[in-house]
Amino acid sequence: MVKTHYKYASLAFAFSALFATGAVAEEVNIYTTREPGLIQPLLDAFKSSTGIGVNTVFLKDGLAERVATEGESSPADILMTVDAGNLIDLVEKGLTQPVASDVLTHNIPAQLRDAGNQWFSLSMRARVVYAAKELGLKEITYEELADPKWKGKLCVRSGQHPYNTALFADYIVHHGAEKTEEWLTGLKGNLARKAAGGDRDGAKDIVGGICDLAIANSYYVGLMRSGKGGEEQVKWGEGIDVLLPTFKDGGTQVNISGAAVAKHAKNKDAAVKLLEYLVSDEAQKIYAEANFEYPVKAGATIDPIIASFGELKIDPTPLTEIVAKRKEASELVDKVGFDN
């Protein structure tokens, strides 16, 4: 443990020394689990608009451990990651601080930010249904996915993947554990193949005639149809319809990318300015164009591919309540043998 501490402490010192020699008068330092290329257009636009420089450190994993080990010497001002659970984990480990910002609280819906203003959503992806075009489906509920009429016709990735445990946890919030277990048993009975692969495999397998429906994330359709995934994936994306399912007593389940200000941020004012910029109309438009994600700010521009799915009615369940049920959802996945 001592060696690890000095290792990260020296890295933090080198990081700070490097930034101190920079040409910019004001700057903000981001630790992020998002690929830098995905957010670089936003950071470039922010610097151009404000003159504030932005430095990023990409951490595929171990973000919380890195910041905790660096302690007060950490150069991190903003902690940016994907998935509400990861953000809440940072708060629970005491690695963030509250932010008082009328811009953030006005632009971000209450269920998409921390009640204590410790973390904030910056973009969304919806858990949608891909459907074979020949079905001609216009709408569906999450509950209906367990209907026996879809027996042998459903594709989905592992039930233990965070994308799915979030959906299943939301189902628990709406219907309770007992009904969720019944629903998961129904979903398993409707599988056309083993729950495995990725979300894009659902589109591929629909086009290939293996299944009629797939549960997947919305932004993958943008990646496929735009050609960013290659010519073959264009065929997958164009070969499916996309439905925005809802709970019978709610809306469409979403997950997020988001950020928090680090507990020991040395450049807190600049960090807050960046977060406020990221939920501006300009930045939300860039998010939509670069990553095919939904903006969190009402009225912000949505990419035409994503907009073609129809109006997104966000499920009102606070993300904190969904995250609190994830462990129970994971246990139910194992109980019904969903991935077996």
* Three-class DSSP labels, 115-161: CCCCCEEEEEEEEEEEEEHHHCCCCCECHHHHCHHHCCCEECCCCCC
User: What is the spatial distance between Cα 319 and Cα 304, in angstroms, rounded to a whole number?
Assistant: 27
Within 10 angstroms of residue 24's Cβ, the number of other Cβ atoms is: 13
How does DSSP classify residue 191? B
In Å, how far from its chain's centre is CA 155? 21
| Sites in the chain below the pLDDT cut of 50 | 1-24
**193: number of Cβ within 10 Å:** 14
In which residue are the tokens 């709970």 written? Answer: 247
d(C-alpha 147, C-alpha 134), whole Å: 19
Q: From CA 207, how far away is CA 5, in angstroms rounded?
A: 51
Say if pTM beats, i.e. exceeds, 0.85.
Answer: yes
Eight-state DSSP code of residue 81: E
SS3 state of residue 213: strand
Output phi, psi for 20, to 5 deg: -65, -25
Contacts of 54 (CB under 8 A, 6+ apart): 27, 28, 29, 30, 43, 46, 47, 274
Which residues contribute to the annotated binding site?
219-220
Q: Provide φ and ψ at 219, rounded to 5°.
A: -70, -20
CATH class of residue range 2-123+256-301: alpha beta
pLDDT at residue 12, rounded to an integer:
44
Predicted local distance difference test score (pLDDT) of residue 36 = 76
Please report the pLDDT score of residue 34 as a whole number: 87
> Which regions of the chain carry the CATH code 3.40.190.10?
2-123+256-301, 125-252+313-335
Return binding residues for Fe cation: 219-220
Q: Which of 160, 164, 152, 236 is nearest to 201 (CA)?
A: 236
User: pLDDT tens across 215-225, in order?
Assistant: 999 999 999 99
**H or E stretch including 215?**
strand 213-217
pLDDT of residue 24: 45
Superfamily of domain 125-252+313-335: Periplasmic binding protein-like II (3.40.190.10)
What CA–CA distance (Å, rounded) separates 315 from 164? 15
The rounded distance, in Å, linking the Cα atoms of 31 and 58 is: 6
Structure token pair of residue 133 = 């075009």
Give the pLDDT of residue 39: 86
pLDDT for 25: 67
* One-character DSSP codes across 246-285: B-TTS-B-EEEEEEEEETT-S-HHHHHHHHHHHTSHHHHH
Give the model's pLDDT for residue 287: 86
